[in-house]
């Protein structure tokens, strides 16, 4: 039983990447049929809110005094949902429609590198020029950004001969604008990195992550609705005209709720680095399925760029893991046994000459009639 428990986080993360791959594939198929990306984002957030509401209400009912929710918490969650959820999702699905599902999943691997740049700019991440971990994070960030640029600008020959694939896509061909799509996807990664940075302040103001998450979904639903009404004046854009469009909306909403719990559980078991290590698996799954069933073209430039992004991701993660090891070593230094067993109190004679630096050791180390308290181990 314990042997299987050790494999559960890895199996859960593999299943999670399959869910993400399915989300990119089904969503692009629905978008190619004519569904508006803005309307899709609204339906996704609304369904996710309805799905999470009973769980959050039950947890609050069991513990009504669990977390105070003040004006500062509302302000932070509102800004985070506006940029990190509404802006992120609209940019991501617009880029997904304009580029391809393979490029969309590959560009999400930029998030750790962009988060490192934002955290270093805000002073939340230390950059030591002579440290191997800092150098690794810088090199990994450069590789990620360079790979993203090559995916957007370089095509080259086709990787696969599409004559051997089905001549007609299952869901039709449509709207490829690779450069603009990559620009939207890069903006989506920046918005999501901003969301990650904002979680530090939100966690301090509202420690209940379930409660803050449903507030984000609720607020982003209204924000997405306003944005969709402003961009899509035609009310016919809100209609779901096929089973694929209805299914993709429900799949995306339920996946948002399910992946939240699975991701939180895996991070609590193995840490955030373990979770991030599985992200490139989504790109591999999406690439294979998209080439076989969605009839997406694969180019050498896109493949080289995706490979550079994945390599850069692992270099950044290695540098971050090295920082964590160094911080643990600094906070928990291994002292000699004799130094751990006794406390040394050095009393400096204030009447002595400060220039000669003499230390008075004539007083006992642990005086019985002294008001001074020895330092703890």
Q: Which residues have C-beta within 8 Å of that of residue 107, sequence separation ≥ 6?
A: 95, 148, 151, 182, 185, 186, 188, 189, 309
Domain parsing of the chain, residue ranges: 2-331, 335-377
Instruction: Please tell me whether residue 299 adopts helix, strand or coil conformation.
Output: strand
- Distance between CA 220 and CA 85 in Å, rounded? 6
pLDDT of residue 102: 81
Q: What is the pLDDT along the chain (377 residues), one digit of tens a residue?
A: 456 666 788 888 888 889 988 888 888 888 888 888 999 999 999 998 998 888 777 776 766 656 667 788 899 999 999 998 999 999 999 998 888 888 888 888 888 888 888 888 887 777 777 788 888 888 888 888 888 777 767 766 766 544 443 333 344 444 567 788 889 999 999 998 898 888 888 878 877 777 788 888 899 999 999 999 988 877 788 888 888 889 999 999 888 878 877 876 776 677 666 777 787 888 888 887 877 776 776 777 777 888 888 888 888 878 877 777 777 776 665 544 444 444 434 333 444 444 443 434 344 434 444 444 444 43
pLDDT of residue 162: 45
- Distance between CA 259 and CA 249 in Å, rounded? 15
Token couple for 150: 């090559």
φ/ψ of residue 299, rounded to 5: -115, 155
Instruction: Please tell me whether residue 369 adopts helix, strand or coil conformation.
Output: coil
pLDDT of residue 67: 60
pLDDT of residue 340: 44
Model pTM score: 0.74
pLDDT of residue 188: 93
Determine the distance from the C-alpha atom of residue 372 to the mean position of all C-alpha atoms in its chain, rounded to a whole number: 50
- Distance between CA 196 and CA 41 in Å, rounded? 20
């Amino acid at each position: 039983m314990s042997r299987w428990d050790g494999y559960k986080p890895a199996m859960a993360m593999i299943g999670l990447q399959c869910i993400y791959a399915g989300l990119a594939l089904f969503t692009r198929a629905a978008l190619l049929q004519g569904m508006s990306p803005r309307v899709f984002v609204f339906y996704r957030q609304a369904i996710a809110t309805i799905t999470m509401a009973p769980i959050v209400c039950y947890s609050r009912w069991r513990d009504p005094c669990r977390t105070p929710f003040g004006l500062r918490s509302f302000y932070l969650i509102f800004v985070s949902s506006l940029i990190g959820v509404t802006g992120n999702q609209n940019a991501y699905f617009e880029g997904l429609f304009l580029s391809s599902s393979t490029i969309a999943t590959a560009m999400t691997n930029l998030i750790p590198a962009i988060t490192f740049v934002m955290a270093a700019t805000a002073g939340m991440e230390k950059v030591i020029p002579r440290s191997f971990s800092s150098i690794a994070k810088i090199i990994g960030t450069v590789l990620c950004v360079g790979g993203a640029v090559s995916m957007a600008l370089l095509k080259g020959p086709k990787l696969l001969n599409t004559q051997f694939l089905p001549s007609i896509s299952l869901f039709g061909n449509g709207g490829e604008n690779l450069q603009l799509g990559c620009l939207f996807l890069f903006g989506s990664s920046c918005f999501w990195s901003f969301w990650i940075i904002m979680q530090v302040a939100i966690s301090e103001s509202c420690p209940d992550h379930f409660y803050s998450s449903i507030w984000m979904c609720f607020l982003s639903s209204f924000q997405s609705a306003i944005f969709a009404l402003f961009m899509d004046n035609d009310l016919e854009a809100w209609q779901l005209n096929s089973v694929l469009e209805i299914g993709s909306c429900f799949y995306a909403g339920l996946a948002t709720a399910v992946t939240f719990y699975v991701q939180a559980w895996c991070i609590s078991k193995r840490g955030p680095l373990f979770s991030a290590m599985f992200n490139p698996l989504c790109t591999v799954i999406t690439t294979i399925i998209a080439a076989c069933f969605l009839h997406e073209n694969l180019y050498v430039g896109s493949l080289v760029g995706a490979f550079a992004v994945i390599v850069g991701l692992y270099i950044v993660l290695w540098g971050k893991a090295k920082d964590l090891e160094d911080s643990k070593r600094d906070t928990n230094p291994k002292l000699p046994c004799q130094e751990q067993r006794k406390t040394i109190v050095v009393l400096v004679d204030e009447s002595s000459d400060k220039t000669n630096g003499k230390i008075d050791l004539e007083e006992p180390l642990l005086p019985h009639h002294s008001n001074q308290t020895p330092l703890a181990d």
